[in-house]
Amino acid sequence: MRLAIGILAILTLVSSEMALANDDVRKLQSVPSNWAMQLGNYAGQRYSPLNQITAANASKLHVAWTFSTGVLRGHEGGPLVIGDIMYIHTPFPNIVYALSLKDNGTVIWKYEPRQDPNVIPVMCCDTVNRGVAYADNRIFLGQADNTLVALDAKTGKVIWQARNGDHTKGETQTSAPVVIKDKVIVGISGGEFGIRGHLTAYDVNDGHLVWRAYSTGSDADVMIDPQKTMMLGKPIGEKDLGLTTWPGEQWKLGGGSTWGWFTYDPQLNLLYYGTGNPGSWNPAQRVKDGDRAKSDNKWSMTIFARDPDTGEAKWVFQKTPFDEWDYDGVNENILADITVRGQARKALVNFDRNGFAYTLDRQTGDLLVAEKYDPTINWASHVDMKTGRPQVVEKYSTYANGVDTNSEGICPAALGTKDQQPASFSPDTGLFYVPTNHICMDYEPFEVSYSAGQPYVGSTLSMYPAPNSHGGMGNFIAFDAAQGKIIWSKPEQFAVWSGALTTKGGVAFYGTLEGYLIAVDMKDGKELYRFKTPSGIIGNINTFEYDGKQYIAVLSGIGGWAGIGMAAGLTGEHEGLGAGALSLALDKYTQLGGVLTVFSLAE
């Protein structure tokens, strides 16, 4: 009887959790023919159970149809597919199209907001947008001008709008919202403009603000309870670290922007995301009492696990305390159940900009594994597994080297071993498939003063291919996050800035900056198919099934940080961007564009 009650309790718990998550989103993502979320599912796995396309037949892929978005510059994110409708989005001006799959993408509706073009210069790393969210017959879009909008998915008509920030203060929106239960969760961009980052939940029905958790400031503002919020296996203990680990009021300009991806575990009812770099990039402006040990600049560079109902932080893990390299901590946290050292774990895996792949227990935040996922990483020797702190190699400390001193040969570069391009996890192989950058840098911090809405960077960068890379600036790798080991690595000429896809069919997909859509065998990385799309790919490869047939779809359109030289017409190195030279080489291969390309197996 006790057992029966126990089971009943569990069943009740599970079914109420089911009802709570967001019923519609969960249902839609469980249908294999859909691609219902930007990352495929709440766990952020970017894996599809579709299996028509296999290693044996992938060479028969061909282009089924194409659709120009009518917008140039960097196209990040990817198409959603719900039933027989595809939803795509563009960079600024953030057009959204609903396309019919019945007839090669006929436009069902088009939403084109009017936005102040003065938003454009406030976008550090191109006018990108990482896509829309779908739930409850609505499309949710975070516009560059900080308008969060809910559209009727059938008509494209605006249902409500909310204002999430102010571009005159350097705040913009680039990330894809995610819907959890009755809330839309959105981040904010602007870490290079001295903003103060936050994550905000809006009510799906009317757009009212439910909670907002800042990345810096008091515990109340950050929604931390130092007695309850866990860090490295125990409560944080100390109060207001979001204030006390900063000099003076620097936390107000402290960055910690939240422009990455959001994942969610419905069973644990925990929402995961990371915060970006502290402001400015000049570490000397963020040191407290001249003592690095006092200057973690919390809670920048931190993975947060929050209760999406209340916003409360359940646990935190800061990856790069006192950042000296712009190793934004916003990359996606992929939820995967894997066995680590013989023990089944509800894991969270994060391929950080700083070059370490972190495997955490996603319930507790305990650190399980932290290993480099590119062998050239040199700024830290390793991560101390007790403190979670990277052990900085002093010669690469831009703080130790000093203001106005060029620190040379730091690997990875500011754009990280991986940036926004989301990785994929295959439950079939238990491996992660990761698009990576293989680029190093020289970094010279300088004193910068704050002026609202103006760049607040404080460093110049020069970036170049990693040494001994034969000029290759990227790799597509298969990674074992339980062991912290690269299984195979496929080199690419440029940074692999596109989101990866894995499939039950044993084929993984990614795109290249030159514009190639590439299919590889998940076993060994052997290339099975490549096709040159109209422009460089910084978008994510998604898959869906329509009318019994599996399709692959991707937005091409060179830009983003990796292509900022081309996208913004820059001709040299620019303060804080440093990618001018990298992307200038690109223009031999591709030009600006904005095109959806849809693939299927030839008959």
Q: Which of 204, 211, 35, 65 is nearest to 131 (CA)?
A: 35
Measured from the CB of residue 71, what is the shortest distance to a copy of itself in angstroms? 8
Q: Return the residue of 320, 578, 597, 601 that touches a copy of itself, per CB under 8 A.
A: 597
Long-range contacts at 156-163 (CB < 8 A, ≥ 24 apart): 156/96, 156/98, 156/108, 156/109, 156/110, 156/111, 158/111, 160/206, 160/207, 161/207, 162/202, 162/207, 162/208, 162/209
Q: Total residues at the site for a copy of itself (CB under 8 A)? A: 35
Cα–Cα distance between 410 and 390 in angstroms, integer?
15
Verify binding: residue 532, a copy of itself, rule CB under 8 A: yes
3-state secondary structure of 345: strand
Verify binding: residue 535, a copy of itself, rule CB under 8 A: yes
Q: Return the residue of 12, 30, 104, 137 that touches a copy of itself, per CB under 8 A.
A: 104
Verify binding: residue 560, a copy of itself, rule CB under 8 A: no
Verify binding: residue 86, a copy of itself, rule CB under 8 A: no
Contacts (Cβ under 8 Å, ≥6 apart) of 455 = 124, 192, 193, 575, 576
Verify binding: residue 483, a copy of itself, rule CB under 8 A: no
Nearer to a copy of itself, 397 or 556 (CB): 556
Q: Return the residue of 556, 578, 579, 582 that touches a copy of itself, per CB under 8 A.
A: 556
Query: Which 54-73 residues touch a copy of itself, going by CB under 8 A?
Result: 62-63, 65-70, 72
Nearer to a copy of itself, 331 or 590 (CB): 590
Q: Return the residue of 533, 542, 543, 583 that touches a copy of itself, per CB under 8 A.
A: 533
Nearer to a copy of itself, 59 or 483 (CB): 59
Verify binding: residue 587, a copy of itself, rule CB under 8 A: yes
Cα–Cα distance between 399 and 446 in angstroms, integer?
11
Verify binding: residue 588, a copy of itself, rule CB under 8 A: yes
Q: Return the residue of 160, 446, 450, 589 that touches a copy of itself, per CB under 8 A.
A: 589
Verify binding: residue 580, a copy of itself, rule CB under 8 A: no
Strand partners, 370: 358
Cα–Cα distance between 600 and 598 in angstroms, integer?
7
Nearer to a copy of itself, 265 or 492 (CB): 492
Rounded to the nearest 5 degrees, what angle is found at the Cα of 227, between the Cα atoms of 226 and 231?
A: 60
Residue with tokens 């409500």: 160
Nearer to a copy of itself, 44 or 105 (CB): 105
Helices (H) and strands (E) in the chain, counts: 7, 40
Cite the active site residues.
326
Structural element, H or E, at residue 4: helix 2-20
Verify binding: residue 464, a copy of itself, rule CB under 8 A: no
Cα–Cα distance between 542 and 202 in angstroms, integer?
27
Nearer to a copy of itself, 436 or 556 (CB): 556
Nearer to a copy of itself, 156 or 390 (CB): 156
Verify binding: residue 600, a copy of itself, rule CB under 8 A: no
Verify binding: residue 31, a copy of itself, rule CB under 8 A: no
Cα–Cα distance between 196 and 342 in angstroms, integer?
41
Contacts (Cβ under 8 Å, ≥6 apart) of 302 = 215, 256, 274, 275, 316, 317, 318, 319, 329
Measured from the CB of residue 221, what is the shortest distance to a copy of itself in angstroms? 43
Measured from the CB of residue 84, what is the shortest distance to a copy of itself in angstroms? 16
Other C-beta atoms lying within 10 Å of the C-beta of residue 487: 16
Measured from the CB of residue 81, what is the shortest distance to a copy of itself in angstroms? 17
3-state secondary structure of 516: strand
Verify binding: residue 107, a copy of itself, rule CB under 8 A: yes
Cα–Cα distance between 292 and 399 in angstroms, integer?
9
Contact criterion met (CB below 8 Å) for 341 and 369:
no
Verify binding: residue 160, a copy of itself, rule CB under 8 A: no
Verify binding: residue 106, a copy of itself, rule CB under 8 A: yes
Measured from the CB of residue 490, what is the shortest distance to a copy of itself in angstroms? 19
Verify binding: residue 593, a copy of itself, rule CB under 8 A: yes
Contact criterion met (CB below 8 Å) for 57 and 50:
no
- What is the binding site for a copy of itself (CB under 8 A)? 62-63, 65-70, 72, 97, 104-107, 110, 515, 531-535, 556-557, 587-597, 602
